[in-house]
Amino acid sequence: MIHYGLHTGQAHSNEYGTYETYGITASCCGNIVCTIEDISLEKNKVEQLIALCNKEQLSPAHLEETVENFLYDFTI
């Protein structure tokens, strides 16, 4: 069974310095299947997306498309 969790990373820009970014990691039986980093700076929004992915048991094959939809059309 796939489980989605929060991925925390850091990014750096000359203008803003170092800051945290949030993404999604998909894992199965404790092994990481895939990770999409740097989806958003808003932890709460990414956590809501993760909860939806877990609730719907999203296949990792559809994760990239789901993230694209989240970035362009999604409101929670």
Q: Give CA–CA dist 15/34, Å, rounded.
A: 30
Average pLDDT of the segment spanning 52-69: 95
pTM listed for this prediction: 0.88
| DSSP H or E segment with residue 56 | helix 43-56
Quick one: pLDDT at residue 24? 98
Quick one: pLDDT at residue 73? 80
pLDDT-based confidence at 39, cuts 50/70/90? very high
Q: What is the domain extent for residue 44?
A: 2-72
Domain count, the chain: 1
